[in-house]
Amino acid sequence: MSFLPRSELITSLNACDIAFIGFVPGMTGVSVPCRMYNQMAAGKPIIAMTDDSSELAQVVQEENIGWVVAPGNLDKLVETIEFAASHPDICKQMGDRAAVISKTTERGTSELEGR
């Protein structure tokens, strides 16, 4: 599968209501995916399936921009998706907060601007 051209990134990001970012167990400390910053800049709440100690989990929890689910906990993932689907007002608040926060990070804005 090829990469999406930058010119189509915003359209792709806006095709969803909620972002999902999944890490396999043990990825703590490896990286924060640029897609987190892209989704934040697009104003999307994030469901992060990752270890609690990862930077991804810490940002999502500390900034209250989504939910963190432990890797492999599919019941909790389903519960979280169902909750988000039935609470669009909460999702909007989280997404709006994510968009504001992304503007304070150089990486968050530069990813969408193609820098």
pLDDT at site 9:
66
pLDDT at site 3:
72
One pLDDT digit (tens) per residue for the chain, 115 residues: 567 677 776 666 666 889 999 987 766 666 666 788 889 999 999 999 999 888 899 999 999 999 999 999 999 999 999 999 999 999 999 999 999 999 886 544 444 455 4
113, with CB counted inside 10 A (0-12, 13-18, 19+), is exposed
What domains are there in the chain, each with its CATH number? Answer: 15-105 (3.40.50.2000)
pLDDT at site 75:
98
pTM of the model: 0.80
- pLDDT tens digits, residue range 4-36? 677 776 666 666 889 999 987 766 666 666 788
pLDDT at site 16:
81
Tokens of 8: 């189509």
Candidates 100, 108, 103; CA nearest to 39 is: 108
Nearby residues of 56 by Cβ (< 8 Å), 6 or more positions away: 21, 23, 32, 33, 36, 48, 50
